[in-house]
Amino acid sequence: MIDPKVVEMQGYKDLPHLALPVVTDPKLSLLALRWVVNEMEKTLPDLRPGRQPHFDTFNARTGRKAPSKVTSRPAAIVEEKPAPVSGGPNLNWTGSSDPPLAKEKELAMEIPDTFPYIVVIVDELADLMQTAPADIEVAIARIAQKARAAGIHLIVATQTPRADVVTGIIKANIPCRIAFQVSSALDSRVILDRKGADKLVGKGDMLYLPPGTSQLIRVQGAMVTDDEIHGLVEHCCKGGQPVFEAVLEDSGGEDGDGGSEEITLRMRPFWKKCSR
């Protein structure tokens, strides 16, 4: 969950399903998206040995092991330092030393019996696009293009649907769209490529564009109160506390000449959590 406004997602920060803490710093959001891209790149090659073209067919294949014998997903030892982001901080993406390097080749041969689903939720895309628009756009486009085959799904929301926020590359790779009431027909065209959302009555009234079709559907969103959300989260939290499989941390390094901060991402295998 990525929540730059620090409002909508804070009630879900204790859910045991989270693989990363709720990201509230726009500078760390790029690292969170890169973590998702890394998980996608690790999953897709592992689908090929079983000759399964898709995530669902891999998990539903015949001859699977019993669930109690699921092997842990090997960790990727990543040692990468991308170029500094234009207008943003220097991002150092450093891999974890767990498991030991001596066992890396042995673990690399293991393929888990099943892969879990991963859902990425971005609450306010406009705040992220102000930090590093080119890198955020590329990361979202890569996830939207290839991640569905790896069981990774993306939900992106914004309250300012401008053309420089919801770019053509992002729109082309997100087939399903929902528009609530907007202020102008131009905003409706940015979301749905047509007018109509500017004439909605609000309070959950929305237009839904299913994937694979151009026919809009007008539906009414359900009203969910804060008390209902808190009750549901408390019920889920009875099953345990979150165990984060990747850590986003700010080293706080600044030089005397006004240099940018360095941010480090320590990688740990997400699949070990699901195997447990």
Please report, for the chain, the start and end positions of each structural domain, with discontinuous segments joined by +.
10-173+226-275
Count CB atoms within 10 A of the CB of residue 181.
17
User: What CATH homologous superfamily does 10-173+226-275 map to?
Assistant: P-loop containing nucleotide triphosphate hydrolases (3.40.50.300)
Give the Cα separation of 156 and 181 in Å (integer).
17
Q: pLDDT by residue for the chain (276 residues), tens digit each?
A: 999 988 889 889 889 988 888 998 888 888 889 889 888 888 777 666 555 566 777 777 766 655 443 333 433 333 344 444 444 444 444 444 444 444 444 444 466 777 888 999 999 999 999 888 889 999 999 998 888 888 899 999 999 899 999 988 888 888 899 999 999 999 999 999 999 999 999 899 999 999 888 899 999 999 999 999 999 999 999 888 888 765 555 444 444 343 333 444 444 445 445 544
Give the Cα separation of 182 and 200 in Å (integer).
8
Q: What is the pLDDT of residue 81?
A: 44
Measure the CA dihedral 189/194/200/202, to 10°: -40
Count CB atoms within 10 A of the CB of residue 237.
14
Q: What is the pLDDT of residue 201?
A: 92
Give the Cα separation of 121 and 20 in Å (integer).
12
